[in-house]
Structure 1
């Protein structure tokens, strides 16, 4: 622990990625410079896919400047609160299906991540690709199977992912791909079918879902001779699914598991939801109403602090950049902001291993040091889907809490003792975690 604390308190540490020097940053002040103040000098990521993988290389997560700036600017309007509001009825209906699924299977031990990934795949996949999905109720769906393939480990897949994130210059040599071929083929098939259907019906341009926004973007770029290919548009739908279904599903699993072990906190969340239901006259909450529930959102933030889906934020220095009087990093050097490390630094969060949503109460949150809590990143490259992800998570937790109390099964590991997946791309449970769902009496 002493060595760990010393590591936390070191502003930066140099490492070698085999032949490539890189820098890990533990300082929130330096993180602010890299992510925000001097973000123009750190615009790009090291992560990248190859020429043989257009879907993997053209999406907003992997693409670099100057293409990234133009694409991000065009897509940002898709994720405004007003645009996402059109999806609320669909997300709400899927949350109610989630409750039905729990009701049907409550007597068995339901692995939480699988349960919630079924739900997030439906919500994100249908919004991005415009196809009906039924995994929330049944646990099975063609798109769910494809999404599952994203996270299925094999030695070749693991090596390919490692190269995509840390050695992108090797990707073309070995023809690794960000997405499996089976996923790419399926995406093309359903995307073309959905696009053709909307073209025929004349509904392109109407604000229905994310797919419609992407089709509208393609239409506008064709009219303006900007030349966005179908692969570029399809790549955005694919990354919305890939970047959200597993991370949001894992977040929901960790929220549920933490609440099961902290019944006093769970009861406060439930009381707040019940009060909101009484105040608004029904349980068909709007996204704004869910966002206004103070303690409910403190719990989500605390789980994001303890179980953030990606432990680092990567950037690449565009120019030689002086960190301080002792260090100037060369252009092309990868820089990794150690966000997970700062989330667990006792200098920033007292007793960081403790689950304590009170940290994020308004009177306490103002004292949190800026750039020490970054579950969605910061600066121009912050997660574009943050609002959508939070809406998806809030609806699921609200309806689950309204209908069920959750409590741990005997002899199950505490949240801090859960094995974490060591071969996955994101921070997620590495073992099945389950809770007992106890119906609430109305």
Structure 2
């Protein structure tokens, strides 16, 4: 009996060793240079043990690689990091047909909040993107501006009541919560006055560090199918119920009282009831636009991911969809991702921007001068037009997003076999792709002295001198962040 047990254990260990050896030689068998992994964490021991975040882990790999790409392992999952700007452009834009998904966790039945635009794939993503694209048009942002200005006035009053020295992190988190809650849900939560407001409380829980949140995030990110089988929700308990309640009550109240408000929730209600936005052209079309001068093709919302990039002359392509209204779950999921992505992005970016302005007094003085001059031209009032005319402010924000990108990487999944240009190597369907934004944005080849804060990097002349796809704080191509224009207005 003892020999039987020992034999079984030996066979098991040999099988585990053989499996690991087979998995961890994947890139070698593909003929692609790779970073040697460690069993069983691959190349992400420091991330798994929370010594560094994913963005820092990806940047470390980016800095170690000298070629245009390198293979590595997320636990047992082979992933290709792409560094070459032209290949990045190929993946995100030219050959989008081969990389149209992110390969992220979605479980509409057991975790309805996961079925949002950022995570959806295939036809569902394409249709939803087409419906949502115009929600952040310049006209709609213009109508939302008074809501943001009202929250800004509350912030000014709050700061006037504070001491000479204040801790801005919590104040800006509360301010971001107020703006997002008002623009996304139409709710005045006043978390600047009440730190325990419901939205602020749930916002803290969403981003609360700890083993449970870390395990949930890693499982959903690396093994989405396992997370679905185990019915692991992407958010902490209570968030789904809270947001469903808020959305349901808001919809019922507005429809019962016949109330309309110029916010994101009103647009989602239109999509729920009609399947399209009523103040836009009532045509079920999506057009592929082209800037022939730079040979850059891009989608005005959600064009197809078929031979569009190879379309002769890049002529516009019409895609027809049946008009179907959003379900309440879909409305809640989109409102959730608006809150989840917008809150962290805006709060963190403002924090870093103010830090850099404090450390660079000359830049701060120049920016203050521009803001004063522009406001004088607009009767001292903040408006959409006033903000759009602040060119130096735009450069300051762009440099902040370069140095501190809200999301430190982009990920894609190879959706059909793809031959790496100029090589015999073929990326197999299902292969993960990572682009380190932190690595690109801090690469001295594109940004000399990358740790220096210099808004002049974003003059028109300097922007044209850099390769395309070396600055992508909101992504690029058809899956570029749909709310980028809103976040830039923040």
Give the alignment's TM-score, normalised by structure 2. 0.75
CA positional deviation for 1:150: 0.5
Question: Aligned pair 1:257/2:311, yes or no?
Answer: no
Aligned CA distance change for structure 1 residues 5 and 160 (closer, same or farther; 3 Å): closer
In structure 2, C-alpha distance between the alignment counterparts of 1:9 and 1:286, rounded to whole Å: 47
Q: Which residue of 2 is the match for residue 269 of structure 1?
A: 367
Give the alignment's Cα RMSD to 1 decimal.
2.0
Q: Secondary structure at the match of 2:482?
A: coil
Q: Secondary structure at the match of 2:477?
A: coil
Question: Aligned pair 1:124/2:195, yes or no?
Answer: no
- Where does structure 2 lack aligned partners over 5 or more consecutive residues? 1-59, 277-321
Q: Secondary structure at the match of 1:72?
A: helix
In structure 1, C-alpha distance between the alignment counterparts of 2:61 and 2:339, rounded to whole Å: 35
In structure 2, C-alpha distance between the alignment counterparts of 1:384 and 1:42, rounded to whole Å: 18
Deviates more, 1:166-175 or 1:306-315: 166-175
Q: Secondary structure at the match of 2:122?
A: coil
Q: Which residue of 1 is the match for residue 131 of structure 2?
A: 74
Which of 287, 293, 296 lines up with 2:384 in the alignment? 287
Q: Which residue of 2 is the match for residue 312 of structure 1?
A: 409
**1:233-272 C-alpha deviation (Å, 9 max, x unpaired):** 1100011000110111000000001100100100000000
Contact conserved, 2:274 with 2:325, CA < 8 A, in 1?
no
Tell me the matched-pair count. 386
Is the radius of gyration larger for structure 1 or structure 2?
2
Give the alignment's TM-score, normalised by structure 1. 0.83
CA positional deviation for 1:52: 4.9
Q: Secondary structure at the match of 2:465?
A: coil
- Where does structure 1 lack aligned partners over 5 or more consecutive residues? 393-442
Question: Aligned pair 1:353/2:451, yes or no?
Answer: yes
Query: Equivalences for 1:42-441 in 2 at 5 Å?
Result: 42-110=99-167, 112-203=168-259, 206=260, 208-221=262-275, 226=324, 228-280=326-378, 282-324=379-421, 325-392=423-490
Aligned CA distance change for structure 1 residues 225 and 362 (closer, same or farther; 3 Å): closer
Contact conserved, 2:111 with 2:234, CA < 8 A, in 1?
no
Q: Secondary structure at the match of 1:314?
A: strand
- Larger relative CO (CA 8 A, sep 6+): 1 or 2? 1
Aligned CA distance change for structure 1 residues 102 and 8 (closer, same or farther; 3 Å): farther
Deviates more, 1:296-305 or 1:95-104: 95-104
In structure 1, C-alpha distance between the alignment counterparts of 2:261 and 2:133, rounded to whole Å: 14
